[in-house]
Chains A and B, each alone.
Chain A
Amino acid sequence: MISQVFILSSKGDHLIYKDFRGEATTDAINVFYQMVTALPGDQPPVVMTREGLHFIHIRQGGLYCVATTTTNASPFTIIEFLNRLAALIKDYCGSLSEKSVRMNFALIYEMLDEMLDYGYIQTTSTDILKNFIQTEAVSSKPFSLFDLSNVGLFGAETQQSRVTPSASASRPIMSSRGDQGGKNEIFVDVVERLTVVIGANGVLMKVDIQGEIKVKCYLPTCSEMRIGLNEEFSVGKSQQRGYGAAVRVDECNFHQAVRLDEFDSYRILKICPSQGEQTVMQYQLCDDLPSAPPFQLFPTVERDKSDRLLIYLKLRCDLPPKSAAINVSVTVPIPKGSLSMSQELSSPDQRAELQPSSKAVHWEISRFPGGAQLSALFKLEVPGLSAASLLEVGPVSMSFELPKHTCTGLQIRFLRLTPVQPNPSPRWVRYVTHSDSYTIRI
């Protein structure tokens, strides 16, 4: 049972405050903000308690979403509820940010009023909520031609080779009533988060892929949708299917509403998506990557005659030639005493800088095509360079995005709405892999 719900900006501005039970005062907001900002560095901030009132919060989009309770409630339930609240705000307002919350406060109050009564969760399903919510969302991001400039971020090869701007999926689900073009779209996203540790000898030490298939549906009512996965898709260690290279995951679980009667034989998921975004399927794969990891690093660390530290990095992208990694950033920890750096980069579209605060060199590459190899030489001025300083270099961590690529090889064969509708609504499939943590030991 939840006593209060409030949303604060990162600066502590009160954006939303709703008291459900009258058990605690509005002062709780200030108490919370003081506690959360006074926490020493690495304390877990998730649950805090002051005078019998428990504060449970999540941080998303730079906002604190907080629930307070006086009972010893289930932390899983409350955290899941706050996550759901954040997701609903994203669905209804287009995005979750200080601005969108400020602009749509009336809508969010209305939502909270229906979601919770006397602190008890009533419903969080978009299908039910949309019957009750009457306020229209104010979109904080009006459509602009500039949004079209990042075409190519996501591909959409379902039926035509047309491309959809990524911004079109971040608009409110309810804002547009009536029949204008491009309204009733369905987005199916395959998002994978990749965690990799590569040892100093180049051997893969850990691979972990967390993937999910999300459906974002703008149709007010949607008939049954069939999502066809690769036929070779197999779950578990022993199972093998089809003749081609198997697409294997260790475990997968599905949304409650997914019907799986054709999953075993045809790898088809059937679902009637409700308006808004929902995760249809989650899957995990560890230890066994079907292809080479996207990046290999060949580092050399040595000291030259004038006692400078030389770090020579050769980075190779092992993606297929048609794909490319974007927003690649490489972080190399360096000895504490480093003063200055000179650099030689292999092409002009890269940048590198020494960040004295974090004692690291950041090397950024905006676009890194598959099969390419880039190199960088950093010469560091380190007073009192010793053999021990060399040990301080590394491990290298990377972050990047791989659009149009899944590391498991999971693909969506088709998306079909049944019965076939007279005006087929645009359907988009997008693939993206994010690096959750990509570490290379030196």
Chain B
Amino acid sequence: MTWGRVSVGEMPYLGSEETVKELKRALSNPNVQSDRLRYRNVILRVIRFMTQGLDMSPLFMEMVKAGASVDIVQKKLVYLYMCTYAKLKPDLTLLAINTLRKDCADPNPMVRGLALRNMCNLRMPGITEYIQQPVLTGLRDKASYVRRVAVLGCAKMRNLQPDAEIDGTVVNELYGLLRDPDPVVMVNCLRALEEILKAEGGVVINKPIAHHLLNRLKDLDAWGQSETLGFLLRYRPRDDTELFDILNLLDGHLQGGDSAVTAATLRLFLQLASGHPTVQADALVRARGPLLATCTASSRELRFTGLCHVQRVLRSLPAQFSPDYKKFFCSYSEPGYIKFRKMEILVELVNDDNVVLVLEELQAYCTDVSPELAQAAIFAVGRIGRTYSERGLAILTGLLGLRQEHITSAVVQTFRDLVWLCPQSTACVCQAIAGCEEIIQDSDGKQALIWLLGMHGDQISGAPYILEDYIDSLKTELSTLVKLELLTAMTRLFLSRPAETQDMLGRLLHFCIEEETDMCVRDRALFYHRLLRCGVEETRQVLGGPKSDPSLGLIAGRPEEPINNWAAHFNTLEPVSSSGSVVAGIGCDGAALPTLGGSDGTTHSAANCTLAVQEASEDLCSGLPEEATSFSLTLGPALTPEAFEKLWLELETFQTVSLPCSEPSSQPETLQAALQLVQIQALAFSRPGSVPWKAYLYAHGSETIILAELLCGPGSDEDRLLVTVKQEPRDEKVQRGFLSVLETVLQTLVSDAT
């Protein structure tokens, strides 16, 4: 056992052998033994050395003897020592068993409990035969302190010999002790039964037990309450009358002072009322106060946990905390991880009433001394700007005036996302980005700027010359992504402003093909070179995708998730630990949005994409089932995103099925191309790997139109895809055919990827 470094002041410069010898002498000195205080002090020194990492196991014999004292403090210290070294000295430990067993019959209940607890803690092979009898006696002890220990002793005993058969009498006795007058004994019984019956699914909560537990809740302390509420999660009330009786009994605990109890009650509420969304929503409304109180608790860790859980609630009830938005303003003394969470929450709960003040607050964070925090704040302003674009743009353009590297970079990245999602902001952005090229140094910012220059170069007079500067300094550019982005942007700009850019595009392609060592860049350059040789019109067809996609912002915006999606994980470690990288959470969201048609600099070259699709198509055509080919789907007429959204909202869900395939891991382009082969048009995708992953598809067939939404996680299983189908007019056969085609495509793609 190692205990790490020890401060010099406390450790004498003696070899541990010397120390052990000296202690051994002292422990066996009759004069010391007769003086209670001196004896205890020597033992304290042993424990201190043990804590510091010295091996004190040679003293085992002497310590066992010291354990046979009447002094309880001394006993406790010796037991601590024995539990630490029992594994190393199993034979000597057996010597101590007798003392311990004798203590188990001591008239003082504290001594009995102490001995029993530590005897069960010894954790060495063969100990069970010695502890069985004292544990069983302990279950019937008249002191509750001993019964508490004995009940958990049953669980310890069970885990020491996991292969042995379960002792039915012990289990029955434990179920009987659920009615023990001592509340801790009752909770311990639940815990022990849970461990003993682990293989059978844990302790059984039937109706009498459930109601007994509910009635005893008020006798328990906060710890017992939250744990018992956890056990009640597995109880299912028979009917609604019983359900509402239970909810009434629990009601008081929802607004109690203790955060752990509130959270456990809320979880139970949500679970029990899973069939009654209004009851769930009502419980969340009433737990609002206590949840907010944890978000402002003085303990940072508690505050963080509260914030994580508030985020869950916001997924389903975005308006729930909107009036309390000021509670989520950051205070400057808070650590970064809390500030990031608060910003995420502020973005979620913004509405017409508070948008002015929320933006004003976020604006203040944009100039924070921490660059990460400032950038996160800028991204947050950008996210709000998708809905309130004028206000957002005013703040963002104002920030450019600071001419700070990290701020400008983040603003330009936000601009890129805004332009893609809100085309009305294009003119303003094009005006604002002049001069940014001198300030931006990081590759993320450069990529965003280059994309903007290429995409909207026709509105930015200086675009060719800014890009020319990048071409001239290409030799010193390290980032592959920036180079790829530059190639796409330059080719695209060539289409709109050929006279100014022809010469520099030639230089760029020449450099990338002749001198560039990165194969990705070289391939992309070759691809554009060949494409341009095919003709300008062909190039325009490949590169001239849409310049924006406002539908994405709306569809992927804020779907209100059913409460049951996250209720099962409420008050567990999941909301707290699945946080991942919070900076990325805010920052990349915009950039993560899928960009179909607008190849905005993914490493995935278009050439690779077409190749993959060709391979996939062969598999697909051979793999389609009979039924699927007996009807026909057609692509046209094309549906605009707006029309799709309108239709989607109008139509009722025809069918929701869960397909046994996971989220396709392939690139969006591949997926889109594969779907087009079977005449299904994809309108929008989430980025691969995002959670939840979503896609919106449509197809025409036999004079009907089918709309579909694919959804993968959270809440649903990893390897299943939830498909919601809407159709007008309804046609069972076409719809079945559509689903089977879809399933085949997805499965082929998944198997291809693996």
Contacts and interface: CB of A to CB of B under 8 A. Distances in A.
B340 A42 contact: yes
Nearest to B118: A113
A45 B373 CA distance: 17
B297 to A, nearest CB: 8
Nearest to A435: B333
A388 B327 contact: no
Contacts, number: 228
A89 interface: no
B117 A117 contact: yes
A79 B44 contact: no
A80 interface: yes
A73 B221 contact: no
B229 to A, nearest CB: 9
B184 A42 contact: no
B332 A397 contact: yes
Interface string A18-51: 0000100010011000000000011111111100
B152 A76 contact: no
Interface residues of A, number: 90
A340 interface: no
B4 A14 contact: yes
A109 interface: yes
A76 B404 contact: no
Nearest to B113: A132
Given A12-B4, A123-B221, A76 B44 contact: no
A14 B226 contact: no
A195 B259 contact: no
A386 B191 CA distance: 68
Contact of A254 (B73, B257, B341, B364): B257
B258 interface: yes
Interface stretch (A146-154, A181-189, A280-288): A280-288
Interface in A65-118: 72-77, 79-83, 102, 105-106, 109-110, 113, 117-118
Contacts of A135: 73, 76
B542 interface: no
Interface stretch (B5-13, B507-515, B675-683): B5-13
A48 B372 CA distance: 21
Nearest to A397: B332
A38 B156 CA distance: 36
A74 B572 contact: yes
Given A44-B582, A121-B223, A76 B260 contact: yes
A255 interface: yes
A305 to B, nearest CB: 23
Nearest to A286: B326
Interface stretch (B133-141, B300-308, B616-624, B726-734): B300-308
Interface string B223-251: 10011001000000000000000000000
Interface string A249-292: 00101111000000000000000000000000010101100000
User: Which 5 residue pairs across A and B have the least CB separation, nearest first?
Assistant: A437-B331, A42-B336, A44-B337, A76-B260, A121-B223
Interface of B: 1-7, 10, 44, 47-48, 51, 53, 72-73, 76-77, 80, 110, 117, 123, 148-149, 152, 155-156, 184, 187-188, 191, 221-223, 226-227, 230, 256-260, 262-264, 289-290, 293-294, 296, 298-302, 304-305, 326-327, 329-341, 357, 360-361, 364, 367, 369-370, 372-373, 401-404, 571-577, 579, 581-583
Given A47-B573, A47-B576, 7 more contacts: A41-B372, A76-B260, A80-B259, A109-B76, A117-B148, A120-B187, A131-B110
28 contacts: A43-B581, A44-B304, A44-B337, A45-B337, A46-B305, A48-B577, A58-B300, A72-B572, A74-B226, A75-B305, A75-B572, A76-B226, A77-B226, A77-B264, A79-B302, A82-B301, A106-B47, A120-B227, A134-B73, A197-B329, A208-B296, A208-B327, A256-B222, A256-B257, A284-B293, A388-B403, A436-B331, A437-B334
